[in-house]
Amino acid sequence: MNTHNGTLSVRVARIEALTPEITRFTLVDPAGKHLPAFSGGSHVVVVLEDGDKTHRNAYSLMSSPYDSSAYQIAVRRVCDGRGGSRYLHDRVAEGDLLQILQPANLFPLAKHARQHVFIAGGVGITPVYSQLEELQLKQATFELHLAVRGPEHTALGLELQARYGERVQLYVQGVDARMDIRHILADRPLGSHVYVCGPDSMIDDTLDSARALGWTDSHIHYERFVEQGSSGQPFSVTLARQGVTIEVPAEQSLLEAAEQAGYKVPYLCRGGACGYCETEVLDIDGELDHRDDWLSEEDKLSKRKFMPCVSRANCSRLVVDL
């Protein structure tokens, strides 16, 4: 396996425009070897050197977990984002080499579920691709409900309908009836698990509906589609272990600012979900702006913990244990 600084080097074998916003990249080992195995719901981080900036963007693997000859990711162009998705859309060509980190899974399937119900919106369909492949091969019972913003955004849904038939229900805005999440989740047999990935409103609606219908939290799985990093007011932070104070600009997260300054901060998802970057706050004069899904409300109120990949601060002084 070709590795460089802990990353894998992969070659872009194919680029396909799937919708006006989403492009799929097929990645292979440059020497034609097998890529590391992964499980349904996994993602990789793509590391892009862009002048004096480094983008590290996480993308779900859409290819089959049973095919190690190639990985596939789908990238939605985010026009007002940091530039990582624009870089992939505009500056990467077939044949180019990219650096990625080994796959990690923060959205795994429930092994003992009797029935798997997927709810997805837009590009939130991407982690579901590999999950359905895994379930199909295991001959498990599943169904997918996918909402898209219009007929021009149906390519991925139609591809999945061709593979899995009536188990995939598409809800095209302006064409079909709106997805009724409460109806989808009602009267499910014991042992059903629901997975949701899409806009915040869809995730919140699913969580509220499932809980109102008596689903236990252990049977509800979600992955928020978050923009990489975070934007807001600039702030200063002292990294106590390094003995330095760095500036976190408006368009960077603390994690990105620390990396750019040459300091290593542990991470996995870069989206406030996995807990890997959890950091102790040693001193603060002001307020923390928590934007993660990891810390409990109690932890957030304590002002003692902080997730540098997404959270920010409105303060005159912040010291963290990094």
Applying CB under 6 A, which residues contact ligand FES?
267-270, 272-277, 292, 294, 307, 309
Least CB distance to ligand FES at residue 279 (A) = 9
Residue 253 Cβ, how far from ligand FES at the closest point, in Å? 9
Closer residue to ligand FES in complex, CB, 143/278: 278
Give 164 or 263: the residue with its C-beta nearer to ligand FES.
263
- The terminus-to-terminus CA distance of the chain in angstroms comes to 32
**Count of other CB atoms within 10 angstroms of residue 8:** 22
Tokens of 68: 């190690």
Q: Find the helix or strand (DSSP H, E) in which 131 lies.
A: helix 126-137
For every residue of 261-316, DSSP letters joined together read: TT-----SSSSSSS-TT-EEEEEEEEEEE---SSS-HHHHHHT-EE-TTT-EEEEE
Nearest to ligand FES of 144, 273 (CB atom) = 273
Within 13 Å, how many C-alpha atoms sit on residue 203's CB side? 15
Taking the least distance from each CB to ligand FES, the nearer of 179 and 273 is 273
The CB-of-273 to ligand FES minimum distance in angstroms stands at 6
Q: How far is the CB of 183 from ligand FES (least distance, A)?
A: 33
Q: Given its phi and psi angles, is residue 191 left (phi above 0), alpha (psi -120 to 50 degrees) or beta?
A: left
Nearer to ligand FES, 135 or 273 (CB): 273
Q: How far is the CB of 293 from ligand FES (least distance, A)?
A: 8
